[in-house]
Structure 1
Amino acid sequence: MDQVHLMNVFVAVGEEEGFAAAARRLDLSPAAVTRAIAGLEEQLGVRLLMRTTRNVRLTEAGQRYLDDSRSILASIEEANEAAAGVNSAPKGNLSVTASVLFGKMFVMPCILRYLNEFPQVEVSALFLDRVVNLVDEGIDVAVRIGHLPDSSLKALRVGQVRRVLCAAPDYLARHGMPQHPADLLRHTIVAAAGISPRVEWKFGAVDDPTLVRLRPRLTVSSNDAAIEAAVSGLGICRLLSYQVAEDVKADRLRIILADYEEAPWPVHLVHRESKFGSSKVRKFIDLLAEHLRAHQHLQ
């Protein structure tokens, strides 16, 4: 049987976690899907799926083969696009992910411009305050803030941000300006779980940090909520510099303990490695990189 066909069937079964759902997705009969998987396992000489009466689960070998098959099929699709000359006119679906506030502030303006320039492309934007796995969730481009782990993904550095402490002028007038991280123990703390999930905050150099263990008065999972609490004068919050830049500019918040800040965090555009540069991905990365590198809040 055709190897590409077998891979397509296997990916559908693995992603749908069932033969019937995969058959509907591929517009094939369940029997055809079953035969394809049986033929693939016989060809490879290894069990790829564990079948029960209720569901289908990948074996360890099956999970590895699923990841490899996705990559191979994506490369084939991109090679076909390049050979057909589609690279001159991007089309299809582009999937992008970033954190919520970063996506709203920086990525959405580029998505809107991109859609206006390339009417044959549809964009799926996933803005979440968690790390999204590009391979598992089928994402083309991601914005990553912070140091990257080693991986097979390609990364393009486009800026940097700082992790800063800030408070409202009214709060500082009432409680005083901290002069050292240890002074935070005497202040009201607002913790944004996405930025500083632990109550032990580090300051200064990586090789010789100052550690302060704090007990927040308020802990929130939303950075928007943390900013609102800080602007209202509740207490001191730790956020990323771009998130509070406009509030600092308007003097709704003031940066404190700047001399004790950690080194800036890099901002990268990350995408899945490909031998052929897909036009829809490449053109979006070029557009977003130009926009981010020129932005004053990411310098």
Structure 2
Amino acid sequence: MDMLSAMRAFVKIVDSGSLTAAAEALAVSQPSMVRTLAALEREVGVRLLNRSTRRMALTDEGREYCARCRVILAAVDEAQASLSARRIEPRGNLRITASVPFGRQFVAPLVIDFLAEHPQMHVELLLLDRLTDLLEEGIDLAVRLAPLPDSSMVGVPIGDTRRLIVGSPALLARRGAPSTPGDLAGEPCVSFTGLVSPAEWEIRERDKALRVTVNSVLATNQIDAAVQACVLGLGWGQFFDYHVREELRAGTLIEVLASHHAARTPAHIVYPQARLLSPNVRAFIDFAAPKLRRGLGDPG
């Protein structure tokens, strides 16, 4: 028997509340629906529905099987939608969010390139340094640098990033490179408050997280100001590696305490599990994910 068709019929019976209503919705005869249900119950070896002339109710096994059928059918529908998305030119609206520094450096250029390839698309890009509720705020997808404990989100991995501690060549010449996390106590520091506290930094030593009290001569939520202050030798700074990639390449900042950086932070493109993956979301993920993986994998 065609198990997928039988599963769809079974779920339609449950949702419709009767065999007759399900048969009408699927444009088949009521006897045909009865035969399909009977064949499905023979195939799985259990009774799925208790039926009488007046009412119908799921058995315990039927309730569990119906839940599993919904998952399977949703996966099949998503796979078909994914293939359709590749055949159909994306059009319409897409709302995307990301953090301000990462969004400016990585996501905004990708959105511009995406729109150049798909001129019938309209994108609203929201760069926010706060966690957004995608469903509540009507956002289609987000690029997040964080673990994904929320099971209502589907995450597409795009790599990871790590924190590192840097200083300018002038600062190293003036004060010497710290050799242990404790050496930062009393040292002048620059704190980008979008990542660290101005009072203490998290640093790892032998796989243990340490909280080190720091003397923040500057605390700011503006990443450009924080990086520039470090370049000018105002103090040590802690950043994600992509924040200071160009400065590390140019030699205007130098990494210190390289063996004591915090654990790597995973990065994902996420979208709500409750939504069927739309062609527009699929098109952007297919376009952006490989480029973001290359960008995050580029050594600092």
Alignment partner, residue 17 of structure 2: none
CA distance, structure 2, for counterparts of residue 265 and residue 144 of structure 1: 10
- Secondary structure of the corresponding residue to residue 234 of structure 2: coil
Measure how far apart 1:101 and its partner are: 1.9
Asked if the contact 1:141–1:272 (Cα under 8 Å) also holds between the matched residues in 2, the reply is: yes
Q: Percent identity?
A: 38
1:191-206 aligned within 5 A: 191-197=191-197, 199-204=199-204
CA deviation after TM superposition for structure 1 residue 148, in Å: 2.0
Work out the CA distance in 1 between the residues paired with 2:298 and 2:161.
6
Alignment CA distance shift 1:192-1:296 (3 Å) = closer
1:188 matches 2:188: yes
2:101 is aligned to 101
Gaps of 5+ in 1: 1-74
Corresponding position of 2:220: 220
Q: What aligned pairs does 1:158-177 form with structure 2 within 5 A after superposition? A: 158-177=158-177
Alignment check: 8 A CA contact 1:92 1:120 kept = yes
* Separation in structure 2 between the aligned mates of residue 296 and residue 93 of structure 1, nearest angstrom: 27
Distance 1:275 1:171 in 2: 51
Report the CA distance between 1:204 and its aligned residue.
1.6
What is the CA-CA distance between 1:239 and the residue it aligns to?
0.7
SS of structure 2 residue aligned to 1:209: strand
- C-alpha contact (below 8 Å) 2:161/2:296 kept by paired residues: no
State the match for 2:270 in structure 1: 270
The secondary structure found in structure 2 opposite 1:217 is strand
Secondary structure, counterpart of 2:164 in structure 1: strand
The answer on whether the counterparts of 1:97 and 1:126 sit within 8 Å (CA) in structure 2 is: yes
Listed one character per residue, the Cα deviations across residues 35-63 of structure 1 (whole Å, up to 9, x for unaligned) are xxxxxxxxxxxxxxxxxxxxxxxxxxxxx
The 8 Å contact of residues 161 and 266 in structure 1, kept in 2 or not, is answered as yes
Q: 1:205 to 1:93 in 2, by over 3 A?
A: farther
C-alpha distance in structure 2 between counterparts of 1:174 and 1:232, whole Å: 13
User: Max radius of gyration: which structure?
Assistant: 2
Distance verdict in 2 for CA 1:99–1:206, change over 3 Å: farther
Native 8 Å contact 1:292 1:298 kept in 2? no
SS of equivalent residue, structure 1 residue 105? helix
The answer on whether the counterparts of 1:205 and 1:263 sit within 8 Å (CA) in structure 2 is no
Q: Offset at 1:128? A: 1.8
Q: Secondary structure at the match of 1:269?
A: strand
Decide whether aligned partners of structure 1 residues 276 and 132 sit closer, same or farther in structure 2, where only a CA change above 3 A counts. Answer: closer
Report if the CA contact (8 A) 1:241-1:297 is conserved.
no
2:208 match: 208
CA deviations on 1:94-137 (whole Å, 9 max, x unpaired) are 01111122112111221112111211110000112222221222
Show the counterpart of 1:134.
Answer: 134
Which residue of 2 is the match for residue 258 of structure 1?
258
Alpha-carbon deviation of 1:162?
Answer: 0.6
- The separation in 2 between residues aligned to 1:129 and 1:252, in whole angstroms, is 27
Q: What does residue 149 of structure 1 align with?
A: 149
Aligned amino acid, residue 106 of structure 1 = F
Q: Displacement, 1:206?
A: 9.1
Aligned to 2:124: 124
Task: After superposition, give the CA deviation of every residue in 1:176-209 in whole Å (9 maximum; x if it has no partner).
Answer: 1100011001310111110103522222269632
Contiguous gaps of at least 5 residues in structure 2: 1-73
Offset of 1:149 from its aligned partner?
A: 2.2
- CA pair 219-198 structure 1, distance change in 2 beyond 3 A: closer
Q: Partner residue of 1:242?
A: 242
| Within-5 A mapping of 1:51-70 | none
- Aligned amino acid, residue 172 of structure 1: L
- CA change 1:189–1:198 in 2 (3 A) is closer
Judged with a 3 Å threshold, the aligned counterparts in structure 2 of structure 1 residues 88 and 206 are, in CA distance, closer, same or farther, namely farther
